[in-house]
Every structure is written in C-alpha cells, then in structure tokens.
Amino acid sequence: MNSDITKTSGNPASVRLRAALLEGQRRVLGCIASGEPLEEILETLVRLIEEQADGMLCAVLLTDAGQERLRFLAAPSLPKDYKLGIAPYLLIAPNVTACGAAAYLRQPVYSEDTAADPLWENCRGIAVRNGLRAVWSTPILSDADAVLGTFAMYYDTPRLPTQEHTQMIGMATQMARVAIEAKCDDDLLRIVFEAALGGMLVTDLSGKIRRVNHSFADTLGYTVAELHGKSIARITEEGSAAALVRELLSHGRREVLSNRRYRTKNGVIVWTRERSTLRSDSSGEPSFVLTHVETMTEADDDPLAPLSRREREVLTGVIAGRTSKEIAARLGIAAASVDTYRSRIMLKLGIRDLPGLVRFAMQHGIPCL
C-alpha cells in the first residue's frame, strides 16, 4: 500500500480501504463474540488499522475509575521508551498531550507537530526523540456519553489527517467502544451469575449452552465445564429452544415465564419455574437467551409434572381469572387452542370443573401470574 492514503474517495484505493475496514470490523466483532480478552481484541483492532497506511502507529488508551488519567491498553507498535516516558503526563486535562485534551474536551484533538504544539510543552522531547511528530487522538465515548478512553494515531512526520484517515478513526473508535462496553457487560453478567442464589444459564438461539452458574450445574450434578457447549435438548425432557425464541420474538415480548423439566447427570427428573429474556448484540440483533431458574425441585414434588410447558402457561392464566381470549392474546395462540389446552389440563389432573382447578392451584401453592 502507498505510504499516503489517497484523498480521492471514488478511486480504487478508497474502495480497497473501505473493504479492508469492513473486513476488519467483521474480525473484531468475531473476537468480541468469542469472548477474547479485551487487550487482545483491541490489539487486533490496532494492528488492523496500522495495516492500512505505512508508517502509521496506533494505540488505545483507557480512562481510570476516577476519570483523571489515561493508560495504554493496546499499543503494540509504540516504542517502550515513549510509553514509559509519557505515562506521568497522561492526565485528563485541557493542556497536556493530545490524548489528555481529547478525553477532557470529548472531541478529537490533532497535534500536527509535537515539536511545536503547546499541548506538548512539558513532554515534547519524549515524543520527538521517539519519532512521533504527529499525534491525533479521538475520545471513545459510551452510549451514556461517558469517556471510556481514546484512540490515537501517530506519524513520524508533521501532518494532519486526510478524509480517509478520518474514516479509519471513526471505525476504530466505534469498534473500540463496542469492545470495551461488551467487556463491561460481560464482567457484569459474570458477577451476577456468580452471586445469584438460583440457577442461571445462557443459551444461543439454537439452544447451545454458552454459560451456566454453579448453582444450576450443581443441582443437575454437572460441573460448569461439562455443561458448556452442550445442547439444552440433551438435558431436558421437553421444550424446544426454537419455540422459546419464537415466543420471545412474538409480539415484542421481553420476558417469557415457563416450566421445564431437566434430567440430572444421574437421570433424576427435576422441574423448574423459569424466566427467560432475549438479549441482543451490539447491532441490536437477537443474540442469546438469558434464563433465571426461580425454582428447581424433583419431579415427584411437582404437582404439574403431567403438564406440558404450554399447558402450564394456560393454567396460570386460567387460575388468574383470565378469559380464553385474554390468555390467547398473551400467549400468541388462538382462543380455541386455549379451550383445548384447558380440557387437557383437567383430564390430566383429574379435575372436572374450573372451581376444582382453582382449589387445586391454591392447595399446591401454584402462583397466579
């Protein structure tokens, strides 16, 4: 590739640049989805951007918890002397280095020449002796407008960014933001998992288990590692992962209450009362199902063991006093189907009429949801 990125947006070089950026975006998103460490994800991003122009070096710096300083997280090509020497000057302030000013002002700051820019007055020698004459820094802002860090580009000659540089900066800061926020979400989810008293699990849209907590694994007699990657269908007696996803997608439902029967490692059947929600990725597309297991007991203790998941859902609506039409609207099925399910429920439970069904629910503590 030429040492200078071409300024003409419609020429072949610009087309190749766009294709390279899109491919880089795909690779970075793949790293995020596979759960790679944040430092490795950002180093992948930095190297992808560096490949687009000879002589350009890049770095991602993160803010500290107090929003007072910056630190290098991914800067594989920067000289060690520069990173060590500049560290004391990485303050989030309006007049210290391009990165500190960008984080403080929440807008890009371009130092055309570190040898002359007042921002580098106290530390210009560190930049100049390491051959870093041009430094361009852009803040990485969260969706909540918090400063997560900065993305910096460096050249060995004085210069300002071209239109193509600006395009690369925009993609780089967007991808850095996605990676940082995804890591924060992942850490939060991990903390919630570890602290939860009940069982929790995450499955992808096909029903493959991506994560479970120790409470869920222990109850079924497995280790967390043994369940990772297993299909949910291999440990359940009923219930389709695809059906659950369809239900979550239908009518914009954000949460589905359901019952499910699991097989323990020793073959014992346990039943659960669960709440499932559909979670999306950074682009807003459905990505996985998060399920919180509220109760888990052996099947012998389950008064609803003969019922299917759909029959249990209809039952909770019936004992709550809802009409067949209301239940049908909540479940996204026909009212006639509700009547059929109700007849099956009474037959399976040996109950002849609606009052008897309500008494059964009260005796066994079945909630009216």
Reported CATH class of domain 190-363: alpha beta
What's the Cα-to-Cα distance from 223 to each of 110, 228, 264, 297, rounded to whole Å? 52, 9, 12, 19
Whether 348 contacts 315, CB under 8 Å: no
Domain 12-183 and domain 190-363 have a common topology? yes
Q: Order across the sheet with 269-280: list the strands.
A: 209-212, 199-204, 286-298, 269-280, 255-263
**pLDDT in single tens digits along all 369 residues of the chain:** 333 443 444 566 667 767 777 777 777 777 776 667 889 889 999 998 998 877 899 999 999 878 899 999 999 999 999 999 999 999 999 999 999 999 999 999 999 999 999 999 999 999 999 999 999 999 999 877 889 999 999 999 999 998 888 888 888 898 898 888 877 767 666 666 666 667 888 888 888 888 888 888 888 899 988 998 898 888 886 556 677 777 777 756 567 777 777 888 888 878 777 888 887 765 567 778 888 886 666 655 566 667 777 887 888 888 777 888 888 888 888 888 888 888 888 877 767 777 777 777 766 666 555
Within its chain, how far is the Cα of 287 from the centroid?
Answer: 9
Sequence-ordered list of residues with C-beta below 8 angstroms from that of 144, at least 6 positions apart, any chain: none
Position 206 scores a pLDDT of 85
Annotated domain spans of the chain: 12-183, 190-363
Position 139 scores a pLDDT of 96
Position 147 scores a pLDDT of 92
Position 108 scores a pLDDT of 96
Domain 12-183 has CATH 3.30.930.10: no
Within its chain, how far is the Cα of 243 from the centroid?
Answer: 23
Q: Hunting for tokens 């949801």 — which residue is that? A: 369
Sequence-ordered list of residues with C-beta below 8 angstroms from that of 350, at least 6 positions apart, any chain: none
